[in-house]
């Protein structure tokens, strides 16, 4: 406790000390509140302390009461865990299949496009290589959602076992990461679709203008 506050509060009226001790004024720190309560106690005054808001809680402030979940709430969360685990597994499997498919496309393009026969086309082979690399790059984008869902399922299992606020916080954190990632990827996908539509319309107009003059 800061002795400077105690020295200062000895000259304060009781009404002012009650205001500080009840945490009604947000400009007072946790040390100031404790000092006011100690001064009121020394004067033999009683007060009704209220919880310190999170916005003014400092290192020495009293932590807020833990969140208590009901049995049905934990049960509902636990019932989602198998489906969350399934979606994470499907995400990993889908990523692996896309990587394998991309690798096969690259090999086939290199073998067929850059071969020694006259029917082989280097241009088609190069296009196939880029297509396979594109599939492999897209596969890595599906790994992150699987990781987030896997961690979310593990946090739900820990919540069911321990039932602590930390386990609930971890579960919500991983769920937030999953939905934020999916939201960002969806926004990027919508943007790419809009760009593709605009580019398609522009190319169609260019070709139409070019061939309409003939």
- Rg value, the chain, Cα: 32
* Distance in angstroms between the alpha carbons of the first and the last residue of the chain: 90
Its pTM stands at: 0.56
d(CA 52, CA 61): 8
Task: Write out the two tokens for 151.
Answer: 């961690």
Residue 85: what pLDDT? 93
pLDDT of residue 27: 61
CA distance 178 to 147: 9
- The CA angle 31-32-37, to the nearest 5 degrees, is 100
Q: Is the pLDDT of residue 66 over 70?
A: no
**Mean pLDDT of all residues in 7-30:** 70
Q: Between residues 72 and 214, which one has the greater pLDDT?
A: 72
Q: Which of 93, 30, 86 is nearest to 56 (CA)?
A: 30
pLDDT at 178: 93
Looking at residue 194, its pLDDT comes to: 95
């Amino acid at each position: 406790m800061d002795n400077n506050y105690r020295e200062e509060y000895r000259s304060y009226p009781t009404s002012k000390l009650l205001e500080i001790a009840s945490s009604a004024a947000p400009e007072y720190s946790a040390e100031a509140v404790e000092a006011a309560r100690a001064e009121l106690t020394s004067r033999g005054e009683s007060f009704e302390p209220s919880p310190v808001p999170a916005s003014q809680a400092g290192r020495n402030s009293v932590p807020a009461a833990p969140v208590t979940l009901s049995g049905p709430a934990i049960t509902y969360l636990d019932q989602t865990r198998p489906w969350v685990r399934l979606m994470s597994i499907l995400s990993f499997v889908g990523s692996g299949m896309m990587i394998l498919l991309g690798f096969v496309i690259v090999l086939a393009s290199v073998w067929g496009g850059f071969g020694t026969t006259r029917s082989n086309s280097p241009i088609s082979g190069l296009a196939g290589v880029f297509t396979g690399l594109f599939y492999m790059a897209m596969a890595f984008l599906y790994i992150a959602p699987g990781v987030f869902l896997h961690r979310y399922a593990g946090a739900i299992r820990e919540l069911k076992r321990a039932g602590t606020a930390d386990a609930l916080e971890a579960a919500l954190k991983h769920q937030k990461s999953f939905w934020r990632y999916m939201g960002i990827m969806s926004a990027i996908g919508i943007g790419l679709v809009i760009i593709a539509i605009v580019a398609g319309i522009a190319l169609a107009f260019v070709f139409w203008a070019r061939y309409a003059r003939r």
